[in-house]
Amino acid sequence: MRRLQQSPARYALLVVALILFVGLPTVVTSFQSAEWTQVLIFAVAIMGLNILVGYSGQISLGHGAFMALGAYTTAILVHRYNVDYLATIPIAGLLTGIVGFFLGIPALRLSALYLALATFALAVITPSLIKRPEQLTGGVRGIEILPPQPPDFANSAFTAVTGGPAMTSDQWLYYVCLVIALVLFWLAWNLVRRRPGRALRAIRDGEVAAAAFGVNIAGYKTLAFGISAFYAGIAGSLYGLTIGFVSPDTFPVALSIQILVGAVIGGLASVPGPVLGGIVTFWLPIVSNQFVGSQDWIPAQVASVFKNAGPAVSYGALLILIMIFAPRGLFGLIVSAYTWLQRRVRGAAERGTGHAPPDPQTV
């Protein structure tokens, strides 16, 4: 109990967030849990991109392509080979991860700018590449994935808690995504604060210095690409299952941009950042549209900007504003607000007792 009381505030926050996420489908409608499923999926994809961009300092504007690969792997396995959908998720992740690993090898030779260029081009051509092997991918018509039915144990547990109607497949998928997201975030958390994470950050901040300390530059950079693609592949697979349909137009350039926006808004090189990023990228266009439309005091012209321009304008403006004013994203803002508050509170307490506050530089 004593240890519990002294644990940092972030653990309490983590528990609260967990309870919220676990309990959510029991209080909201099935449709709303499907929306939050997409938030979780975005968070996973953003976490993957964050490992690549935030920790290893390589850039990818083409993560939508990795998601497409993951989604189509699942769709093809389920639809054509009748593989169990749960089994296809790790297959999709591993396949995408291997592809990402091998794409990481030519990426080693490219500077950040060229890598951005090449991956952006990859994102642009992805839809037309998918259309081509029509036998396999169904061309422009895409592939339908039937919604998976919740197993009996989940169904009975769910009805026991809510006392309401049976579990829908949307609610079941929410829990599938939640468990996978938790595992993947736990893995990422372990990855970034141990040896590989330190190595990646060392490479990001100074490749030559890292090499001088004996860090295997090529190995870690390709590894980061592979892991990042693995996350994107899993996210893509879950995305396909949730939407129940994959087609070339499911994976436009805008999807790659959206993932990048999420990584930047949430906060690069942080573990909670991608969760915030997932929430913001998914809800921002929807909420801003509904909110602005419902407000009378906003002039009709301004409101119609939001309606017609869609999420593009707000995404673009947010990207620029965050990069200029808060390069560490929302998570960075929260952390600096928290430390500022803590310092104020502690300073006030110690002024009362007459002791000088400890100099943070010597502690």
Partner 1 sequence: MQEFLQQVVSGLATGGIFASLALALVLIYNAMGLVNFAQGEMAMFATFIALVLIDHGLSYWIALPLTLVIAFAGGVVIQRVVIRPVERAPVLTLVIVTLGLATLVNGMAGFLFGYVPRSFPTPFSASTVNILGALASYQDLGVIAVSGVVLVLIYLLLQRTTLGLALRAASHHPDASRLLGIRVSWMLALGWGLASAVGAVSGMLAAPILLLQPNMMQTVIIYAFAAAVLGGIESPLGAVVGGLIVGVTVNLAGAYVPGVGGDLQLAVAFAIIIAVLIVKPNGLFGTASLRRV
Binding residues for partner 1 (CB under 8 A): 53, 57, 59, 61, 106, 109-114, 116-118, 120-122, 124-125, 128-129, 131-132, 208, 253, 257, 260-261, 264, 305, 308-313, 315-320, 323-324, 327
Q: Name the residue nearer to partner 1 (CB basis): 165 or 214.
A: 214
The set of residues, in sequence order, having a beta carbon less than 8 Å from that of 82 and lying 6+ positions away, is none
Q: Rounded to the nearest whole angstrom, what is the least distance from the CB of residue 325 to partner 1 in the complex?
A: 8
Q: Name the residue nearer to partner 1 (CB basis): 130 or 191.
A: 130
The H or E element that residue 245 is part of is: strand 245-246
Instruction: Give the whole-angstrom CA distance, residue 83 versus residue 94.
Output: 16
- The closest alpha carbon to 346, from 355, 359, 357, 334, belongs to 357
Q: Name the residue nearer to partner 1 (CB basis): 106 or 219.
A: 106
Q: Name the residue nearer to partner 1 (CB basis): 23 or 310.
A: 310
Q: Name the residue nearer to partner 1 (CB basis): 71 or 322.
A: 322
- Dihedral angle computed from the Cα positions of residues 297, 278, 197 and 8, in that order, rounded to the nearest 10 degrees: 70
Instruction: Give the whole-angstrom CA distance, residue 184 versus residue 97.
Output: 14
SS in 3 state form for 168-219? CHHHHHHHHHHHHHHHHHHHHHHHHHCHHHHHHHHHHHCHHHHHHCCCCHHH
